[in-house]
Amino acid sequence: MAETIFIAPERIDRLSSGKVQEELDALLDGGATDLVVDMKDLKYLSSAGLRVLLGAKKRIGKDGTFILANVPGSIRELLDVTGLSAFMKMR
């Protein structure tokens, strides 16, 4: 199956994480198995946002791919500090 691209908003925090979760769930419920989260516009990612991304990665499991693309430096640092960069494919 072709990659499905999700464009992340500028912020994924406590206030926006529910909407982002709904959008990702809709893509996954619709059959997306190879998901690319394009973070080119992302400026802030909270712990609530991290949970949403981890949940989507877990739903995809080993049968698909979950990739973070265009990860800004500050977000990459956050993923490194939390140890999540070891579990997330990035390009």
Q: What is the mean pLDDT of residues 57-82?
A: 96
Model confidence over 25-59: pLDDT tens digits? 999 999 999 999 999 999 999 999 999 999 999 99
Domain at 4-90, CATH class = alpha beta
Q: Domain map of the chain by residue range?
A: 4-90
Question: Residue 1: pLDDT above 70?
Answer: no
Query: What is the model's pLDDT at position 39?
Result: 98
Cβ burial 38-57 (10 Å sphere, 16+ → b, else e): ebeebeebbebbbebbeebb
What is the number of other CB atoms lying within 10 angstroms of the CB of residue 72?
Answer: 15
**80 pLDDT tier (thresholds 50, 70, 90):** very high
The overall average pLDDT reported for the chain is 96
Query: What is the model's pLDDT at position 2?
Result: 87
Q: Is the dihedral of CA 8, 45, 20, 11 positive or negative?
A: negative
